[in-house]
Amino acid sequence: MNVGYAISLAGGVLIIIGSLLGMFGMFYFGWVGGWGMMGGNHMMGGWYAWPWWSSGMRIFIIFPIIGLISGILVTIGAVKLRSSADVSTWGTIIIVFSVISFIGGGGFFLGAILGLIGGILSITLKS
């Protein structure tokens, strides 16, 4: 098994999971991130106090979306590493989108780092 493939695939999956969790957090908890006074999503917290979608903060949903797209492209690049002869191109794509994924959190940052390592290994080893 190609080491660059395995590491890049793990990084891409982590980036996707981290981005989906970021989107879930924005939608479910609201931008405030509070649960309200009595422990629920009511009174002065979460959805009702200052929902992110009715404020200028809704533009920040773009960050997990960029992370999700980057994670998908890192995962596609990792799969193409295994089946394609053009390892340098796919390794470069993995590196570029791993760096871009830092905008969306980079899959707990570990996913982006794994993607970088996997892309570099695939270019240098060319196996």
Res. 127: pLDDT tops 80: no
pLDDT for res 43: 52
Residues near 18 by beta carbon (within 8 Å), at least 6 away in sequence:
67, 71, 104, 105, 106, 107, 108, 111
The rounded distance, in Å, linking the Cα atoms of 83 and 95 is 18
Q: State the chain's mean pLDDT as an integer.
A: 82
More confident residue, 97 or 28: 97
pLDDT in tens, 35-56: 555 555 555 544 444 555 555 6
pLDDT for res 96: 97
Question: Could you tell me the pTM of the whole model?
Answer: 0.81
The rounded distance, in Å, linking the Cα atoms of 77 and 106 is 16
